[in-house]
Amino acid sequence: MEKVFNFSAGPAMLPQDVMVKVQAELTDWNNIGTSVMEISHRGKEFLEVVADAEKNLRDLLSIPDNYHVLFCHGGARGQFSAVPMNLLGSGTIADYVDAGYWAQSAIKEAKKYCTPNTVSVLTETDGLKAVLPAKDWKLSKDAEYVHFCPNETIDGIEIRDLPLTDKPIIADMSSTILSRPIDVSQYGLIYAGAQKNIGPAGITLVIVRDDLLGRAKEYLPEILNYSTLVEKESMFNTPPTFAWYLAGEVFKWLLAKGGLEAMKAHNEQKAALLYDYVDASPFYSNGVHPDNRSLMNVPFLLANPELDATFLEQAHERGLHALKGHRAVGGMRASIYNAMPLEGVQTLVDFMKEFEKAHA
Ligand code: PMP
């Protein structure tokens, strides 16, 4: 079978080396005669998986000691509710920076619990979508926290600035976490659904600063309560053990690959290859200003949308899968997370050139 490169935005491709290892130990993990899926989450063996996963993640992101690492249920959308219910305290206002679809989805959910101050940051520069510099963001002085989504997965827009505030900064890093180093100490809380750069769907990472615990609403469902999850070490109920184990394998793989500096270089190289070609070609276009282009999700349009279906069909035949843009924006999107090898992006660009030649 021809080699497949999967450009899905999530659940996304996982590192090949990890998948091969996991397959080899699927039915007999760690020489215990059963799979890791079939053992108690409270048993000694699984607790070692948990401890290793946390340690390796802390190493990768240099997470300071005053931050807790939680592995939760409910995806990033679960955090759209958990964040306001845990962090508002007696306050009623929170700033929500809006640069696209996922920020807007978080705002919609936050409206159930507070009055979100929507901080619109999208603008146009040289006819391209761009993000206003942080000094121009209209934050509210009464906000309990400032929420933003540094990488808009659908729109392919990245916010490179941090909000200029002394309030806790909350970041939905679902589609950018682990793609490069970050300074965790600048954030109050970071959350991310796993299914892009962490592991399979079903587990959600939360990194929360200690002083933000203890503000939860009375009515908060216990399973979303950060204090409870800290106290119970993310085992208030049965956790998604297989996803947790697999995330741990991805963290080991990242360390073996040289950590997040190495990932940054790898991701920049892939993104440059694709954006440079799209920019040079009259046949394809990307509508985002270079300063705000996503390293992870590269949307692009064909000059003639009538060719979209043919493009997707022929790409699929070449082993280039899941290139269809999100239904909200159309066109194409190549998601090139950590696990996507340079070879995958090179194969895509080669195909795009051939397609252009045949149809221009
Ligand atoms: N935020 C961002 C930035 C996302 O990309 C996604 C999913 N693509 C979500 C939130 C929602 O994640 P989940 O499906 O895990 O709730």
Mark whether 149 and 262 lie in a shared domain. Answer: no
Q: Please indicate whether residue 191, judged by its CB atom, sits closer than 6 Å to ligand 1.
A: no
CA 283 to ligand 1 center in whole angstroms:
31
Mark whether 102 and 113 lie in a shared domain. Answer: yes
CA 281 to ligand 1 center in whole angstroms:
31
Residue 332 lies in a domain: yes
Q: Please indicate whether residue 326, judged by its CB atom, sits closer than 6 Å to ligand 1.
A: no
Mark whether 71 and 189 lie in a shared domain. Answer: yes
pLDDT of amino acid 32: 96
**Helix, strand, coil percentages, rounded to 5, for the chain:** 40, 20, 40
**Nearest ligand 1 atom to alpha carbon 9:** 8
CA 153 to ligand 1 center in whole angstroms:
8
Q: Please indicate whether residue 60, judged by its CB atom, sits closer than 6 Å to ligand 1.
A: no
Smallest CA-to-CA distance from 332 within 297, 356, 282, 357 is with 297
Q: 147 forms bridges with which residues in the sheet?
A: 96, 170
Mark whether 73 and 211 lie in a shared domain. Answer: yes
Residue 7 lies in a domain: no
**Nearest ligand 1 atom to alpha carbon 154:** 5
- Pairing, β 5-6 against β 320-321: parallel
183 annotated among ligand-binding-site residues: no
Residue 39 lies in a domain: yes
Residue 14 lies in a domain: no
**Nearest ligand 1 atom to alpha carbon 153:** 5
User: Would you say 206 and 190 are in contact if contact means Cβ atoms under 8 Å apart?
Assistant: yes
Q: How far is CA 1 from CA 4, 171, 318, in A?
A: 9, 40, 11
C-alpha span between 101 and 152 (Å, rounded)? 7
Q: What is the CATH number of the domain that holds 327?
A: 3.90.1150.10
Residue 12 lies in a domain: no
| Residue ending a domain, choose from 222, 256, 290 | 256
Domain span at 118: 21-256
Q: In tens digits, what is the pLDDT along the chain, a chain of 360 residues?
A: 678 999 999 999 999 999 999 999 999 999 999 999 999 999 999 999 999 999 999 999 999 999 999 999 999 999 999 999 999 999 999 999 999 999 999 999 999 999 999 999 999 999 999 999 999 999 999 999 999 999 999 999 999 999 999 999 999 999 999 999 999 999 999 999 999 999 999 999 999 999 999 999 889 999 999 999 999 999 999 999 999 999 999 999 999 999 999 999 999 999 999 999 999 999 999 999 999 999 999 999 999 999 999 999 999 999 999 999 999 889 999 999 999 999 999 999 999 999 999 998
pLDDT of amino acid 328: 87
DSSP state for residue 104 in the 8-state scheme? H
C-alpha span between 263 and 179 (Å, rounded)? 6
Mark whether 237 and 263 lie in a shared domain. Answer: no
Q: Please indicate whether residue 267, judged by its CB atom, sits closer than 6 Å to ligand 1.
A: no
As for how many domains the chain has, the answer is 2
| Residue ending a domain, choose from 191, 221, 256 | 256
Mark whether 50 and 127 lie in a shared domain. Answer: yes
Residue 4 lies in a domain: no
C-alpha span between 327 and 305 (Å, rounded)? 14
Residue 242 lies in a domain: yes
Mark whether 346 and 271 lie in a shared domain. Answer: yes
315 annotated among ligand-binding-site residues: no
The first and second tokens of residue 324, run together, are: 């269809």
Mark whether 136 and 160 lie in a shared domain. Answer: yes
Give residue 331's region: left, alpha or beta (phi > 0; psi -120 to 50): left
Mark whether 178 and 239 lie in a shared domain. Answer: yes
Mark whether 185 and 286 lie in a shared domain. Answer: no
pTM, to two decimals? 0.98
238 annotated among ligand-binding-site residues: yes
Q: Please indicate whether residue 149, judged by its CB atom, sits closer than 6 Å to ligand 1.
A: yes
List the catalytic residues: 102, 172, 196
CA 193 to ligand 1 center in whole angstroms:
6
pLDDT of amino acid 1: 63
286 annotated among ligand-binding-site residues: no
DSSP state for residue 163 in the 8-state scheme? P
Residue 226 lies in a domain: yes
| Residue ending a domain, choose from 186, 221, 256 | 256
358 annotated among ligand-binding-site residues: no
Mark whether 220 and 270 lie in a shared domain. Answer: no
Q: Please indicate whether residue 197, judged by its CB atom, sits closer than 6 Å to ligand 1.
A: no
Mark whether 354 and 238 lie in a shared domain. Answer: no
C-alpha span between 169 and 181 (Å, rounded)? 17
Q: What is the CATH number of the domain that holds 190?
A: 3.40.640.10
Handedness of CA 114, 117, 119, 120 (dihedral sign): positive
